[in-house]
């Protein structure tokens, strides 16, 4: 166990470069109770104590949350892996990277705290699991972050599988780790 590490040793990369074609707008702009998804996520991160927050975005869709760093994804057509790549390159030299897709904003503060504690104790790749199903956000260690490519056939999940990445599943009591908002119907249950 490494008692010297803290949330200051983990950079957060919020993935918000998607076009949001299925829902009709960039997903970071979606709102619950007049608060956009990016703000929902950032508020939770700050509650847990994260300070090194980065957000990847698509050209012509710059988010507006204050006091975080923004990174343009120059190749969003490569998918989520390209946002992770650009985020890590900009936020280099952290012990770990919490990767949070903006279309999964409902993971709880308690889940964040549990994931962070597990990572700081073991420094493995950490994935939340609810009812035997993995979700978001994940935390990846610096060694793994260093080898993530800009593009990979099959995306980030295939990259992890093809490279035999060992994942430590952390059971959480949070069904929202799987709540992916792709359609207006997905959003309706939270309104």
Task: State the Cα torsion 79-37-116-165 to the nearest 10°.
Answer: -20
| Mean pLDDT computed over 122-132 | 92
Return the residue matching tokens 């076009």.
19
| CA angle (153, 157, 162) in 5-degree steps | 70
Top-level class of domain 7-184: alpha beta
Residues 53, 58, 60, CA angle at the centre, nearest 5°?
Answer: 115
Domain boundaries, the chain: 7-184
Query: Rounded to an integer, what distance in angstroms lies between the CA atom of residue 67 and that of residue 51?
Result: 9
- Looking at residue 66, the DSSP 8-state letter turns out to be T
Model's pTM, two decimal places? 0.94
Encode pLDDT of 44-93 as tens digits: 999 999 999 999 999 988 898 999 999 999 999 999 999 999 999 999 88
The mean pLDDT value of the chain amounts to 92
CA-based radius of gyration for the chain: 15
Residue pair 177/107 in contact (Cβ under 8 Å)? The answer is yes
21/157 Cα distance (integer angstroms): 22
**Over 50: is that where the pLDDT of 94 sits?**
yes
């Amino acid at each position: 166990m490494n008692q010297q590490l803290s949330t200051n040793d983990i950079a957060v990369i919020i993935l918000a470069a998607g076009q949001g074609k299925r829902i009709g707008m960039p997903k970071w702009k979606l709102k619950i109770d007049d608060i956009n998804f990016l703000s929902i996520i950032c508020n939770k991160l700050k509650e847990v104590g994260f300070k090194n927050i980065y957000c990847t975005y698509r050209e012509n869709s710059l988010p507006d949350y204050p006091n975080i760093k923004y990174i343009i994804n120059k190749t969003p057509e490569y998918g989520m892996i390209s946002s992770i790549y650009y985020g890590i390159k900009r936020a280099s030299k952290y012990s770990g990277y919490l990767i949070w897709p903006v279309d999964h904003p409902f993971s709880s503060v308690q889940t964040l705290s549990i994931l962070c504690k597990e990572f700081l104790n073991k420094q493995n790749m950490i994935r939340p699991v609810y009812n035997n199903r993995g979700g978001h956000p994940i935390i990846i260690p610096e060694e793994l972050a260093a080898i993530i490519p800009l593009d990979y056939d099959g995306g980030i999940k295939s990259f992890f599988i093809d490279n035999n990445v060992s994942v430590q599943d952390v059971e959480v009591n949070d069904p929202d780790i799987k709540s992916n908002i792709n359609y207006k119907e997905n959003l309706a249950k939270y309104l």
